[in-house]
Amino acid sequence: MKKTVMINLCLLLTLLFSVYGFAGGLDLFEGLSGTLRIAGGTAHIKCEMLAGKRIMRRFPGITIIIGGGGSGVGIKQLCEGLIDIGNTGRAPTAAEIERCNLNVYKFAVDGIAVIVNPQRKIQNISTAQLVNVFSGKTTNWKELGGPDATINVYTRDSESGTRKVFWKKGLKRAPITRRANFVKSNAAMKTAVAGDPLGIGYISLGVADSSVKPLAIDGIYPSIENVKTGKYKIARGLYMNTRGKPGGLARAFIDYMLSPEGQELVKGCGFLPVK
């Protein structure tokens, strides 16, 4: 008799524990329905899509729409009330926070890597070389120890948080050449450089994969460990922003991304979790 009670107690405890354990996870969305609109920074997209698919598979009443555009677009559309969460790959400025009454949630830390096509033999680039390449002073791979061929610079538009951070921390605010090709997102940057043997660009560490080759800058390789220890300097937080206090789906989504399950996802995407 006593034994059964013990077993029952144990069962109850595990049940309680598991409920507690889940409470930070998908159960956050229990009882919610409707559409959640997210847009802005493009480094976020892959990770948020993964989370979104998990949520939508379990809760058919919820639709999560994730768009890009760049960090600037995220903030602006948020201010206009066109979306519920605005992604940014940089911290929102004080002016932006005040103008739109932003609530800011940092959910991951990300590095920005300079990438080339895997066909290039180059492993390392100095900051001075980097500045020269991106400002259009160095135009031939020969000057970087490569073949005699033009360097094709790929860049992002002014809405991009990745561009802003890279420009500030990677290029030390040197101008980017006007002859650079433009791509619309981090994913598009990867596709472009992976397809162009003579290309060079910059990208979110979480988005880069084996189709492109990250370069060490001044001898320091852009890995998530080096970002963690602070050795690799071109890093930034990834933020989700809401106008005023988030409610309903937006609240649940942010809580989910910051929950242990969400942070595990963040890690799996190649970012540094914040918790």
Partner 1 sequence: MMDCRRKAQISRAILVLSTVVTGSMALVIFLFLFRFSLPLFSSGSLGKFLSKNWDPDAGAFGVYPMIAGSACIASLAMVLAAPLGVALAVFMELYAGSRFSRFLRYFVELMSGIPTVVYGFSALFILVPLVRNTFRYGSGFCVLSASLVLALLVIPTVSLITMDRIREVPRDFVLAAGSLGASRLETLLRVQLPYAWRGVISAVVLGGGRALGDTIIALMLAGNAVSVPSSLLDSARTLTAHIALVSAADYESLSFKAIFLCGLVLFLFSMFSIVFLRVVERLKE
Partner 2 sequence: MNRVVVLTIKVLLWVTAVVVPCFVGMLLFFLLDKGLPVISLKLLFGDVAPVKALLLRERVFDGIFPAMAGTFLVVLLSVMWAIPMGVLSGIYVAEFAGGTVKKILDISFDVLASVPSIVIGLFGLTLAIFLHKNISHRIYPCLLISSAALAILILPYIVRTTELSIESVSLPLRLAGLSLGATKQRNLLSVILPRCSGGILSGVILATGRAAEDTAVIMLTGVVASAGIPHSLFSRFEALPFYIYYISSQYADQYELKKGFGAAIVLLIITGMLFGFAHLLKKLVARKINGFD
180 binds partner 2 (CB under 8 A): no
Q: Please state, as a whole number, how many other Cβ atoms lie within 10 Å of the Cβ of residue 230.
A: 8
> Under DSSP, is residue 171 helix (H, G, I), strand (E, B) or coil?
coil
**Continuous H helices in the chain:** 2-23, 45-58, 71-80, 94-100, 127-134, 161-165, 186-195, 224-229, 248-258, 260-268
- Choose which of 52, 69, 270, 273 interacts with partner 1 (CB under 8 A): 69
Task: Indicate which of partner 2, partner 1, none lies near residue 149 (CB less than 5 to 8 Å, by partner kind).
Answer: partner 1
SS3 274: coil
Show Cβ contacts of residue 198 under 8 Å, excluding neighbours closer than 6 positions.
Answer: 117, 141, 149, 150, 151, 152
Residues 56-95, one symbol each (x = binds partner 2 by CB under 8 A, - = not), give xx--x--x-xxxx-----------xxx-------------
Any contact of residue 187 with partner 2 (CB under 8 A)? yes
- Using CB atoms within 10 Å of the CB of residue 108, give its burial: 0 to 12 exposed, 13 to 18 middle, 19+ buried: buried
Structure token pair of residue 87: 């992604």
| φ, ψ at 84 (rounded to 5°) | -95, -35
User: Does residue 49 touch partner 2 according to CB under 8 A?
Assistant: yes
In this structure, is the dihedral angle defined by the CA atoms of residues 128, 236, 189 and 182, taken in order, positive or negative?
negative
Rounded to the nearest whole angstrom, what is the least distance from the CB of residue 15 to partner 1 in the complex?
Answer: 48
Decide if residue 50 touches partner 2 (CB under 8 A): no
* 163 contacts partner 2 (rule: CB under 8 A): no
User: Per rule CB under 8 A, is residue 182 in the interface with partner 1?
Assistant: yes
Nearer to partner 1, 55 or 112 (CB): 112
One-character DSSP codes across 241-260: EEESS--HHHHHHHHHHHSH
Q: Is residue 198 near partner 1 by the rule CB under 8 A?
A: yes
Looking at the Cβ atoms of 60 and 230, the one nearer to partner 2 is 60
Q: Which does 116 bind (CB under 5 to 8 A by kind): partner 1, partner 2, none?
A: none
Q: How far apart are the first and last CA of the chain?
A: 44
Among 48, 84, 110, 159, binds partner 1 (CB under 8 A): 159
* Neighbour tally for 80: CB within 10 Å: 10
Cα 182 to Cα 168: distance, rounded to the nearest angstrom: 19
Compute how many residues bind partner 2; rule: CB under 8 A: 24
Residue 198 touches which of partner 2, partner 1, none (CB < 5 to 8 A by kind)? partner 1
Among the listed ranges 1-9, 18-26, 147-155, 214-222, the one in contact with partner 1 (CB under 8 A) is 147-155
Chosen residue from 53, 137, 172, 179 binding partner 1 by CB under 8 A: 179
Interacting residue with partner 1 among 21, 34, 195, 260 (CB under 8 A): 195
Interface residues toward partner 1, by CB under 8 A: 69-70, 72-73, 76-77, 79-80, 149-150, 152, 154, 157-159, 178-182, 184, 195-196, 198-199
